[in-house]
Amino acid sequence: MHFGRQAPQYAVHLQNTFGCFVGKRFYLRDEGPTYTLRICSKSIYYYFHKHLAFDATTKHSAVQLISLAITRELKIGFLRGLVDTGSSVTFCADRN
Protein backbone atom coordinates (compact mmCIF):
# COMPACT_ATOMS: atom_id res chain seq x y z
CA MET A 1 0.00 0.00 0.00
CA HIS A 2 1.24 3.46 -0.83
CA PHE A 3 0.61 6.59 1.23
CA GLY A 4 1.36 10.20 0.38
CA ARG A 5 3.88 12.25 2.36
CA GLN A 6 1.07 14.17 4.08
CA ALA A 7 -0.16 11.09 6.01
CA PRO A 8 2.78 9.36 7.75
CA GLN A 9 0.81 8.94 11.01
CA TYR A 10 -1.94 7.10 9.13
CA ALA A 11 0.62 4.74 7.57
CA VAL A 12 2.10 3.98 11.02
CA HIS A 13 -1.43 3.48 12.43
CA LEU A 14 -2.26 0.95 9.68
CA GLN A 15 1.09 -0.79 10.15
CA ASN A 16 0.28 -1.38 13.83
CA THR A 17 -3.40 -2.22 13.25
CA PHE A 18 -2.75 -4.72 10.45
CA GLY A 19 0.15 -6.26 12.37
CA CYS A 20 -2.03 -6.85 15.43
CA PHE A 21 -4.91 -8.16 13.32
CA VAL A 22 -2.97 -10.80 11.36
CA GLY A 23 -0.19 -11.44 13.89
CA LYS A 24 2.56 -10.64 11.39
CA ARG A 25 4.91 -7.71 10.93
CA PHE A 26 4.24 -5.11 8.26
CA TYR A 27 7.20 -3.12 6.99
CA LEU A 28 6.95 0.64 6.42
CA ARG A 29 9.45 2.15 3.99
CA ASP A 30 10.10 5.77 3.12
CA GLU A 31 10.32 5.79 -0.68
CA GLY A 32 10.71 9.49 -1.40
CA PRO A 33 7.33 10.84 -2.51
CA THR A 34 5.41 8.07 -0.72
CA TYR A 35 5.50 5.66 2.19
CA THR A 36 5.02 1.99 1.32
CA LEU A 37 3.52 -0.60 3.68
CA ARG A 38 4.48 -4.19 2.82
CA ILE A 39 4.17 -7.71 4.15
CA CYS A 40 5.54 -11.02 2.88
CA SER A 41 3.25 -13.89 3.86
CA LYS A 42 2.15 -16.90 1.85
CA SER A 43 -0.66 -17.64 4.30
CA ILE A 44 -2.18 -14.17 3.81
CA TYR A 45 -1.67 -14.38 0.04
CA TYR A 46 -3.50 -17.73 -0.16
CA TYR A 47 -6.25 -16.50 2.20
CA PHE A 48 -7.03 -13.62 -0.15
CA HIS A 49 -6.84 -15.87 -3.21
CA LYS A 50 -9.45 -18.11 -1.57
CA HIS A 51 -11.99 -15.25 -1.42
CA LEU A 52 -10.87 -12.67 -3.99
CA ALA A 53 -10.17 -12.82 -7.72
CA PHE A 54 -7.31 -10.62 -8.94
CA ASP A 55 -4.34 -10.75 -11.27
CA ALA A 56 -1.33 -11.18 -8.98
CA THR A 57 1.08 -10.38 -11.82
CA THR A 58 -0.34 -6.88 -12.32
CA LYS A 59 0.59 -4.12 -9.88
CA HIS A 60 -2.84 -2.45 -10.10
CA SER A 61 -5.62 -4.89 -10.84
CA ALA A 62 -9.32 -5.00 -10.12
CA VAL A 63 -10.38 -7.06 -7.13
CA GLN A 64 -13.58 -9.09 -7.21
CA LEU A 65 -15.26 -11.38 -4.71
CA ILE A 66 -15.15 -14.96 -6.00
CA SER A 67 -18.42 -15.89 -4.36
CA LEU A 68 -21.03 -14.12 -2.28
CA ALA A 69 -21.31 -17.29 -0.19
CA ILE A 70 -18.86 -15.92 2.39
CA THR A 71 -19.24 -14.71 5.94
CA ARG A 72 -21.05 -11.48 6.68
CA GLU A 73 -17.93 -10.19 8.47
CA LEU A 74 -15.78 -10.65 5.35
CA LYS A 75 -18.34 -8.84 3.20
CA ILE A 76 -18.46 -5.93 5.65
CA GLY A 77 -14.68 -5.82 5.90
CA PHE A 78 -14.33 -5.88 2.11
CA LEU A 79 -16.72 -2.94 1.71
CA ARG A 80 -15.08 -1.01 4.56
CA GLY A 81 -11.71 -1.53 2.91
CA LEU A 82 -12.97 -0.22 -0.41
CA VAL A 83 -14.33 2.94 1.15
CA ASP A 84 -11.39 3.46 3.54
CA THR A 85 -8.76 3.29 0.78
CA GLY A 86 -10.36 6.01 -1.33
CA SER A 87 -12.12 3.66 -3.71
CA SER A 88 -15.80 3.72 -4.42
CA VAL A 89 -18.71 1.33 -4.68
CA THR A 90 -21.02 1.80 -7.65
CA PHE A 91 -24.32 0.06 -8.27
CA CYS A 92 -25.38 -0.12 -11.92
CA ALA A 93 -28.98 -0.96 -12.79
CA ASP A 94 -27.91 -2.73 -16.00
CA ARG A 95 -25.46 -5.10 -14.23
CA ASN A 96 -25.90 -8.02 -11.82
From residue 74, alpha-carbon distances to 28, 78, 94 in Å are 25, 6, 26
What is the reported pTM?
Answer: 0.49
pLDDT reported for residue 80: 76
pLDDT at 63 over 60: yes
Query: Do residues 44 and 25 lie in contact, with contact meaning Cβ atoms separated by under 8 Å?
Result: no
**β-strand pairing of 34-38 with 2-4:** antiparallel
Query: If we measure between CA atoms, which residue out of 62, 42, 63 comes closest to residue 52?
Result: 63
Q: Quick: pLDDT tens for 67-82.
A: 777 788 877 777 777 6
pLDDT at 23 over 80: yes
pLDDT reported for residue 67: 76
Quote the mean pLDDT of the chain. 76
pLDDT reported for residue 79: 75
